[in-house]
């Protein structure tokens, strides 16, 4: 049976011809030629059958029936994104908090021409500064970004992070988990504005904003709110010129439509969120006519070449991956965690309370396979909602969580919490001292905060408490690489993974081009597998 068939005679291109000797109809050779992404392929007759050639010829005797263009991984996505961020590929390694998106991950991807965000969320400013300096030493000209997470319960951390970014000359941040704009993200953005000789605005501090709601997306797509601009100007943090220039630029250069991701997520369906955010972008871009124009990328739910290609074909300027990278050897996760992640299936994730927004009821997506974190964290949140203080919790319930979750007396936990916040955020501690409810929240956040650290460092004896952020895309990735060398977690290098995803997307696009012209391919040629 032939590997190819053709059923659209109206598509024959008599202007292009190939030499009969150059047409190969062997399945293995057809795949090889489809995989040679740097060259186009041409479908033509080969005796009684059909095959592919990679060249047209003026002396050819066989008419070209269909063709697929050359398409390299670096051709995918928006050229303006690649140019502005000085990268080769429209691929962004998204931030994963507590340094899971590690210095090593950022450097590895950056050296290969990919943008990656260092996972600064949850880290104190001194650790952030040290990490940035290490990245800058290896990537003095970039590309890299640093995560800036909205921290409504710990404003000092957000402010401290921005101070370090400006001090160290960090020119790109990935803003995540924002419910609305704060003066800190506005300060970062506006402090980098200057005027070019031709009167245009130079944007020195670039912002990539992850959003899953249109109301938040709109705030990042529009200029900074005048109220916050005036406040920063009064504080002397920006100049009058920067305040004026702020009216001519959006708050972000790139908007990532964050669908069903790991960590903070609204579990939005990918197929509905991305076009909704793109439509909003089109509306706002038409209103303001920003130059360069606003771009929209896609993150959350991408773990296979099919998903990557779907995002690009739906108009995404770039794609963002996080969960998949967490299982790579460069990630700041323990070997136990990375091994566990390599076995996760799509249904092995669930929602649990977020440590940084615990009191607000915000949840994030975590792995439930091999961990009881989600169940235990949800138990703590139920207690928080049902009681006004630690003292109000029934003795039997308190004893149960002390033994099963905290593994120590809650009074001792509170003593440790005092020491922790005394260094991290004294203002937070002062507010809790006068509020039994807030004190209870901080005690419960002790467990939620440490559980992710235990996962990162591989804390022995705490494996069932590991908080591991991941979305269902990781399960899809694991299914895709099953039976290949990438099935083994110790073989997963971030650059390899990224290139295979993009190569796969390019390969599938070429297959689709042939199919749209009436070409049918045998089943073995329809998919891409890492080799």
3-state secondary structure of 282: helix
Percent share of the chain, pLDDT over 70:
98
Q: Note the pLDDT tens digit of each residue in 393-407.
A: 999 999 999 999 999
Query: pLDDT tens digits, residue range 122-141?
Result: 888 999 999 999 999 999 99
Exposure string for 6-26, b = 16+ CB within 10 A, e = fewer: beeeebbbeebbbbeebbbbe
Confidence (pTM): 0.92
- CA distances to 270, 323, 359, 379 from 362, rounded to whole Å, are 20, 19, 8, 15
pLDDT value at residue 388: 94
Residue 451: other Cβ atoms inside 10 A: 23
Q: How many CB atoms lie within 10 A of CB 457?
A: 13
Residue 525, SS3? helix
Q: How far apart are the first and last CA of the chain?
A: 26
Task: Report helix, strand and coil shares of the chain as percent, to nearest 5.
Answer: 50, 15, 35
pLDDT number for residue 157: 85
Among 191, 293, 201, CA closest to 247: 201
Burial readout 128-146 (b: 16 or more C-beta within 10 A, e: otherwise) = bbebbeebeeebeebbbbb
Task: For 516-527, write each residue's pLDDT tens digit.
Answer: 999 999 999 999
Q: What is the mean pLDDT of the chain?
A: 94
Q: What is the pLDDT of residues 322-379, one digit of tens each?
A: 999 999 999 999 999 999 999 999 999 999 999 888 988 889 999 999 999 999 999 9
What is the arithmetic mean of pLDDT over 60-72? 94
By CB atoms closer than 10 A (0-12, 13-18, 19+), residue 155 is middle
Tokens of 451: 């559980």
Average pLDDT rounded to a whole number, residues 448-457: 94
């Amino acid at each position: 049976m032939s590997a190819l068939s053709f059923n659209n005679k109206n598509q024959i291109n008599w202007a292009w011809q190939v030499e009969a000797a150059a047409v190969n109809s062997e399945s293995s050779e057809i795949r090889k030629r489809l995989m040679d992404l740097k060259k186009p392929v041409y479908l033509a007759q080969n005796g009684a059958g059909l095959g592919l050639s990679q060249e047209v010829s003026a002396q050819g005797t066989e008419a070209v029936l269909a063709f697929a263009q050359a398409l390299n991984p670096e051709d995918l996505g928006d050229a303006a994104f690649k140019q502005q961020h000085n990268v080769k590929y429209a691929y962004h390694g998204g931030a994963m908090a507590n340094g899971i998106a590690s210095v090593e991950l950022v450097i590895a991807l950056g050296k290969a021409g990919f943008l990656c965000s260092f996972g600064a969320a949850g880290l104190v400013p001194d650790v952030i500064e040290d990490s940035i300096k290490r990245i800058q030493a290896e990537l003095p000209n970039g590309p890299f970004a640093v995560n800036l997470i909205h921290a409504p319960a710990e404003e000092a951390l957000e402010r401290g992070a921005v101070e370090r970014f400006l001090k160290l000359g960090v020119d790109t941040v990935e803003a995540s988990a924002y419910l609305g704009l704060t003066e800190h993200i506005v300060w970062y953005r506006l402090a980098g504005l200057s005027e070019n000789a031709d009167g245009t605005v130079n944007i020195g501090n670039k912002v990539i904003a992850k959003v899953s709601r249109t109301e938040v997306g709109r705030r990042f797509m529009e200029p900074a709110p005048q109220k916050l601009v005036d406040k920063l100007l009064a504080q002397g943090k920006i100049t009058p010129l920067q305040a004026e220039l702020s009216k001519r630029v959006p708050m972000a250069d790139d908007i990532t439509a964050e669908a069903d991701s790991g960590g903070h997520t609204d579990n939005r369906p990918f197929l509905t969120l991305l076009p909704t955010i793109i439509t909003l972008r089109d509306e706002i871009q038409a209103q303001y006519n920003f130059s360069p124009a606003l771009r929209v990328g896609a993150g959350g739910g991408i773990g296979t070449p099919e998903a990557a290609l779907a995002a690009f074909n739906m108009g995404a300027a770039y794609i963002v991956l996080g969960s998949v990278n967490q299982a790579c050897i460069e990630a700041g996760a323990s070997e136990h965690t990375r091994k566990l992640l390599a076995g996760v299936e799509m249904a092995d994730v669930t929602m649990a309370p977020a440590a940084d927004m615990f009191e607000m009821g915000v949840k994030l997506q975590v792995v439930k396979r091999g961990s009881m974190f989600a169940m235990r964290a949800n138990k703590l949140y139920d207690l928080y909602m049902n009681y006004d203080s630690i003292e109000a919790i029934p003795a039997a319930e308190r004893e149960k969580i002390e033994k099963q979750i905290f593994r120590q007396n809650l009074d001792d936990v509170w003593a440790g919490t005092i020491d922790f916040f005394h260094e991290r955020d004294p203002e937070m501690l002062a507010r809790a001292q006068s509020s039994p409810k807030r004190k209870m929240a901080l005690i419960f956040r002790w467990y939620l905060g440490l559980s992710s650290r235990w996962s990162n460092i591989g804390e022995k004896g705490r494996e069932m408490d590991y908080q591991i952020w991941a979305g269902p895309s990781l399960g899809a990735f694991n299914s895709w690489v099953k039976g290949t060398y990438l099935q083994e977690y110790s073989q997963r290098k971030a650059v390899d993974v990224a290139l295979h995803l993009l190569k796969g997307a390019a390969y599938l696009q070429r297959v689709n081009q042939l199919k749209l012209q009436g070409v049918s391919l045998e089943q073995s040629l329809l998919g891409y597998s890492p080799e």
